[in-house]
Amino acid sequence: MLTQHKARWALASLLLISGGLQAQLTINPTNEHPNPYDADTNYFDLPGDREWGSTSAVDIDPDGE
């Protein structure tokens, strides 16, 4: 009975370890083609010394305007 209990724990441990190792695999992209798009950092220039800000949340007005 004790050996069967140990065998179950060993099997469970082996499955957990193998699942953890499989999660660490790196997956290459499906294609190796170069990116055809160019990043243009100065496409949207703001006037003067203004800088782009960020929006953390947007809320709709109750009347829809």
The pLDDT profile of the chain, 65 residues, written as one tens digit per residue, is 568 888 888 888 777 676 655 566 777 777 888 888 888 877 787 888 888 888 778 888 888 76
Q: What is the pLDDT at residue 2?
A: 62
What is the Cα–Cα distance from 40 to 46, expressed in whole angstroms? 14
What is the Cα–Cα distance from 61 to 9, expressed in whole angstroms? 58
Q: What is the pLDDT at residue 34?
A: 86
Q: What is the pLDDT at residue 7?
A: 83
- The type of residue at 52 is W
What is the Cα–Cα distance from 12 to 29, expressed in whole angstroms? 32
Q: What is the pLDDT at residue 22?
A: 58
Per the CB < 8 A criterion, the answer to whether 55 and 49 are in contact is no
Q: What is the pLDDT at residue 58?
A: 80
